[in-house]
Structure 1
Amino acid sequence: MLLTSDPATLHHIMSSNFSNYPKGPDTKLLFEAYGEILFATDLEEWRKQRKIVHGFFDHHEMRISTPKINHEIIQNGLFPVLDQVSEQGLVADLQEIIKRFMLDATCMIATGYNHGSLRVGLPEDRVLTALHDINHGILIRHIFPERLWKAKKWLGIGAEKKLCQAWETLDSIALEYLHKRKENPELFFQGINYFSPEFEAIGLNPSKVMIDVVKSLLFGGTDTPSSALTWFFWLVLENPKVELKIRGEIEANLSTEKGEKRVFFDPDELNKLVYLHATLLESMRLYPPAPFQSRTSIESDILPSGHRVNPMMKIVPCCYAMGRMESIWGEDCLEFKPERWISEKGRIIPVPSNKFVAFSSGPRICPGKELGLIRLKAAAASIIHNYQVEILKNHPVIPTTSIILNMKHGLKVRVTNRSA
């Protein structure tokens, strides 16, 4: 195994010599609970899945539906929960609230159905529990020898038992929602229709492929964006000057009245918030949702760094380390500084994806990047404009050991409704 934080090496394995560095058979095995998903497949399987997923995100209905879904979940899910926390003076876990927001919005995109996990009281949710158990099981598979975790899977014990149970749960929920949508389309949000001839033409039909696509969307659309937004809020709340700048940008660029409660969901409006966009990028630089990636070489090679690569050697780009390298970001690399992303003309400075790896790089770059950023901006702007959020004093904030960079103890906060 070779660990790297070198942008030239990252470009080599993820772009210029992409065909020699697939994910490898281990990745598909480690992530088998999520099925034949774009993240874990290679070669022809990857090309087929890529066609399906890109067709999904490029579909005109997706771009029409996404802002409506953001509005629906913020207005009828996020606001009632935050209002209750404010009115009753409760301590809330903002990470848990954000994760539920992402789950419900993703579920509406993937199935047309509002899963409803984000509701007053935050009752236990079987999808969130299943995602947690699967991701923990995947981490264990990364750590322990294959023979050991396979033996535990065969015996049905430990993390493998929970992973397999969670796998069955996600499969059954995905199938249930897809069947309900086909039989009763009038009951669901009128967004993406999997049963149209257009989607059948790119490989989508009521089969295991569809279930895997739904699970892939739930995985990619829940944990990674919730991680990004949680760390964003922690950094912003720890830097009041940044929060004031975001609030001022909202008031200057969007039609707001003092004391008026607003949901910000329109992409054209949100794209005016350059400083907010820069702050999100800066937080993902320091705390990328996926702290590491991996590739496996097929043939011998020599990397731009001069290191020799043998067949079946695993190359691990350390995304977390890359966001903190002085050679990439300068002497102030450890400083939270959104301004580094903004040009003198007030526009976002483009940074090559082999340096800023939050959305991966090369042909495998995240297909939902743009729509994901719109959702992050919608939630962030709506919360910051309508609520005063304060982190609980002495609350420990440390990353958890996971394939997704969550906070180990959540983000405990108190919330005050600004329009109350």
Structure 2
Amino acid sequence: MDSSSGFWSVFFISILCLLFFFLLHRRDRGNRHLPTIWPFLGMLPALVVNVHRLHDFFTEVLGATGCTFVFHGPWFSSMKFFVTCDPANVNHVFNANFRNFPKGPGFSEIFDILGDGIFNADDESWLSQRRKAQLLMAQPRFRAFVLRCSREKVENGLLPLLRRVSEEGSTVDLQDVFLRLTFDITCNLVFGVDPVSLSPEFPTIPFAKAMDEAMAAILHRHTLPSTWWKLMRRFMLGRERSLANAWLVIDEFISESIAKSKGQFFSEGSDDLLSAYIQDSAVTGNSSDKFLRDTTVNLMLAGRDTTGSALSWFFYLLCENQSIEAKVLDEIRKTKEPTGQGNELVYLHAALCEALRLYPPVPFESKGVAKGEMMPSGKRVEPGMQVLFSTYSMARMERIWGKDCLQFRPERWINEKGAVRHEPAYKFMAFNCGPRTCLGKEVAFTQLKTVAAAVLKEFRVVVVEGHVVAPAASIILHMRNGLKVKVTRRDENI
């Protein structure tokens, strides 16, 4: 037998052995809902096939596996995820054993555009940045600035735009409107600059477009083994090329903002966060331009898309549940000058919480593992694994939220005394959980209530017939096709 025929014999025998192993493993897995583990490729094919419906895919698998499963990527890759939506696991990782689950180097590699900012930071760096941000954002002057910016943008930008759309009888993408609104507000809060992206012309703002492209590239990295996207980055291919170009635009905008803010600081004080950090650095002397750059890009990510996403899903749910919309509107009309603050808008607050439960702006969280240990759900995690928490899936689990988990029911957030009911953050993760709980929670609710009250009081919003609303596969939970609506003025006598 010559060498070539010997090679092909060994090759075919190897293929048959792999096929036998695959079929045997598939037969004995015990749960047909688990993605198939293919030879060499692991579960990656299932992920690629379902990437357009990523959040629902994970929900289906988690629902069939008791809220936890292990995702195996291609052989010899580091792509191994412990995927869960079990509140016991969440509480363990984010609270009970917080130090064993850092963001880790894998996270900061994927989110490298955020630099050394608070989202990527661990240990002392994270703690120091959090203390500083908490101190600055808790200042009464900044809280007043948040309310003032939100009111002014709603009154001078959002409402005039919707009045024009109503008068013309045209359709509008409400998701685009809200993202532009929150982009302008967040830019003002962070940089002290209003880019006026919310205007009748719907202009393209390079900085906003760059942020969108960066987030799309980061999601793409989550669906590939790290060696693959790093190779694409090295040769500037596909999404990695888009990310590199977006990075330049983002850095240019922030660099100009820092220079402008430093130039104005000694002549006219400002209330925005960048000015506050610069003022603090004048006292401490420890804030470089890189620190300011990383801090502000993290603040923009935290404040811009998340609030815009929350508003979009909230109004969509009201459109689908008119009886709830009527209750929210009745409360708003009975409240004198609703401001988005205080406890007067209990039902509106409950409806917003319910929308955030069903459609959390950040649909999944990620953690690394420092030391191997057994999780409360009974599966073990090891260093090198990534722990993924699907907050989107958590809302859709009967064992967590009951048989009505898929229903939009604000009443679940109101207690017997008529006040807002508290739910533990490891069950309701819209604002993260534990030591890393979102510092901007009150800022977000101020904006959400201000916008919701103003729009609902004056307009009726109806989704265009036949328009399909579905979650996009994205880092922030956007709508894949936007939210096409018609807007009409309400009769003041109704």
Q: Specify which of 297, 322, 338 is matched with residue 240 of structure 1.
A: 322
Match of 2:121 in 1: 41
More deviation, 408-417/181-190: 181-190
Q: CA deviation at 1:267?
A: 2.0
Distance 1:216 1:61 in 2: 21
1:205 aligns with 2:287: yes
Matched, 1:29 2:109: yes
Give 2:199's match in structure 1, choosing from 119, 122, 125. Answer: 119
| Residue identity opposite 1:69 in structure 2 | C
Contact 2:397 2:405 in 1 (8 A): yes
Q: Comparing 41-50 with 403-412, which one deviates more in the overlay?
A: 41-50
Match of 2:177 among 97, 101, 106: 97
Distance in 2 between residues matched to 1:80 and 1:37, nearest whole Å:
37
Q: Is the 8 A contact 2:187 2:193 kept in 1?
A: yes
Q: How does 1:15-414 map to 2 (within 5 A)?
A: 15-184=95-264, 190-192=271-273, 193-194=275-276, 197-198=279-280, 200=282, 205=287, 207-255=289-337, 264-265=338-339, 267-268=341-342, 271-414=343-486
Contact 1:112/1:188 (CA < 8 Å) preserved in 2?
Answer: no
- State the Cα distance separating 1:77 from its structure 2 match: 1.4
**Does the CA-based 8 Å contact 1:52-1:202 persist in structure 2?**
no
Question: Partner amino acid for 2:198?
Answer: L
| Contact preservation (8 Å) 2:214, 2:246 | yes
In structure 2, the CA distance between the partners of 1:277 and 1:19, relative to structure 1 (3 Å rule), is: same
Deviations 1:64-112 (A, max 9, x none): 2111111111111112221221121221000000001111111111011
CA distance in 2 between counterparts of 1:362 and 1:136 reads: 28
In structure 1, how many angstroms separate the alpha carbons of the residues matched to 2:435 and 2:259? 33
Work out the CA distance in 1 between the residues paired with 2:322 and 2:245.
44
Distance 1:228 1:103 in 2: 13
| Partner deviation per Cα, 1:295-328 (whole Å, 9 max, x = no partner) | 1111121111222222222221111111111112
Q: Distance in 2 between matches of 1:342 and 1:389?
A: 25
RMSD: 1.9
> How many angstroms apart in 2 are the aligned matches of 1:416 and 1:32?
44
After superposition, the Cα gap between the structure-2 partners of 1:145 and 1:368, relative to the gap in structure 1 and judged at 3 Å, is same
1:163-205: CA deviation from partner (whole Å, max 9, x where unpaired): 1111111111112122222323578964443366445557773
Q: Secondary structure at the match of 2:153?
A: helix
Cα deviation, 1:225-268, whole Å, max 9, x if unaligned, reads: 1111111110011111111111100111224xxxxxxxx54523
SS at match of 1:415: strand
**Structure 1 pair 309–290 and aligned structure 2 pair: CA distance change class (3 A):** same
SS of equivalent residue, structure 1 residue 115: coil
Residue matched to 1:259: none
After TM superposition, the structure 1 stretch with the greater mean CA deviation from structure 2, 318-327 or 274-283, is 318-327
CA distance in 1, matches of 2:333, 2:116: 45
Higher RCO, 1 or 2 (CA under 8 Å, sep at least 6)?
Answer: 1
Q: Tell me how far apart the structure 2 counterparts of residues 247 and 7 of structure 1 sit (CA, whole Å).
A: 34
Unpaired runs of at least 5, structure 2: 1-80
Quick check: 2:229–2:240 contact (8 Å CA) kept in 1? yes
The residue type equivalent to 2:141 in the other structure is E
Aligned partner letter, 1:267: Q
Structure 1 position 345, deviation (Å):
1.1
The Cα of 1:37 is off from its aligned counterpart by 2.0
> How far is the alpha carbon of 1:56 from its aligned partner?
2.6
**SS at 2:197's partner residue?**
coil
Q: State whether residues 181 and 188 of structure 1, in contact with CA within 8 Å, keep that contact through their aligned partners in structure 2.
A: no
Judged with a 3 Å threshold, the aligned counterparts in structure 2 of structure 1 residues 419 and 400 are, in CA distance, closer, same or farther, namely same
Residues 414/143 of structure 1: CA separation in 2 closer, same or farther (3 Å cut): same
CA contact (8 A) 1:181 1:187 kept: no
Instruction: Give 2:28's aligned residue.
Output: none
Using the size of structure 2 for normalisation, the TM-score is 0.79
CA distance in 1, matches of 2:379, 2:361: 28
Distance change in 2, residues 1:59/1:361 (3 Å): same
Alignment partners' CA distance in 1, 2:319 and 2:285: 45
User: SS where residue 3 of structure 1 aligns?
Assistant: strand
Deviations 1:138-159 (A, max 9, x none): 0111112222222222222211
Determine helix, strand or coil for the equivalent of 1:414.
strand
Q: Which amino acid aligns with 1:135?
A: M
Structure whose CA Rg is larger: 2
Question: After alignment, is 50-59 or 106-115 more displaced?
Answer: 50-59
SS at 2:486 equivalent: strand
The runs of 5 or more residues in structure 1 that have no matched partner are 256-263
Q: Which consecutive segments of 4 or more residues in structure 1 shift more than 3 A?
A: 184-192, 195-206
Q: 1:196 to 1:80 in 2, by over 3 A?
A: same
- Tell which deviates more after alignment, 95-104 or 157-166: 157-166
Structure 1: distance between partners of 2:218 and 2:286: 27
Q: How many residues align?
A: 410
Distance 2:281 2:346 in 1: 35
Pick which of 172-181 and 349-358 moved more: 172-181
Moved more, 240-249 or 183-192: 183-192
Aligned partners of 1:337, 1:195: CA distance in 2, in Å? 41
Task: Give the direction of change, closer, same or farther, for the CA distance of 1:201–1:47 in structure 2 (3 Å limit).
Answer: farther
TM-score after normalising by structure 1: 0.93
